[in-house]
Chains A and B, each alone.
Chain A
Amino acid sequence: GAVVSQHPSRVICKSGTSVKIECRSLDFQATTMFWYRQFPKKSLMLMATSNEGSKATYEQGVEKDKFLINHASLTLSTLTVTSAHPEDSSFYICSARAAGGAGSYEQYFGPGTRLTVT
């Protein structure tokens, strides 16, 4: 149980284009999903918290107009990188927390999406 998928796993796009990454909880409902970014040999940095049916909460320094997050259902959140530039190249990872988790705060992580902007 507690499987989170991401699609695509790898994407290459040209500078100036937009890319959408999907995050799905496959076998549980997630009221809250999180988006992280990881640079090579670095730790994960939280970008934003996504709550189903409401606006995402962005961490300080993350441009909300550049990284659009939508959490349309209890099993799907999307991250759209708009007008991508080479500095947006990174490994993006989502996670999900089960709804009504009886005091459990455990998060489950997707396999990540490697974005390369040329």
Chain B
Amino acid sequence: GIQVEQSPPDLILQEGANSTLRCNFSDSVNNLQWFHQNPWGQLINLFYIPSGTKQNGRLSATTVATERYSLLYISSSQTTDSGVYFCAVEQDSGYSTLTFGKGTMLLVSP
């Protein structure tokens, strides 16, 4: 099956700093989603971005499908951004399920 690698596995930031999270995947995809899992376990949909660039407030994401990677940018980080960020992809093969990366654990300190 498709492989999904996220980096870095852990990240510690001072409040106000910017960061870039990366997601590499091993095959062509028809779905790529970024999630933030809050401390209560809820997965918050950040972006549905199988290709292209999107922005939502302080967050933006870019997926370069031909090179099989996606980037999540967090600007002016806040303590509420802390949590685990997951990238998940769905292979473009008719087998319609999401494969999750192992996540990036982000801690933003005041």
Please classify how large the interface on chain B is, using the bins under 10, 10 to 19, 20 to 34, 35 or more.
20 to 34
The SS class assigned to the B binding surface is strand
Interchain Cβ contacts within 8 Å, total number:
53
Interface residues of A in 91-117 (CB under 8 A from B): 91, 93, 95, 97, 104-109, 111-112, 114
User: Residues of B contacting A105 with CB < 8 Å?
Assistant: 30-31, 50, 90, 96
Q: Which of A49, A106, A111 contacts B97 (CB 8 A)?
A: A49
CA of A42 to CA of B102 in the docked complex: distance in angstroms? 7
Q: A105-B30, A112-B41 are in contact. Are A46 and B96 (CB under 8 A)?
A: no
B51 → chain A closest CB, angstroms: 12
Measured CB to CB, the residues of A under 8 A from B are 2, 32, 34, 38, 42-46, 49, 91, 93, 95, 97, 104-109, 111-112, 114
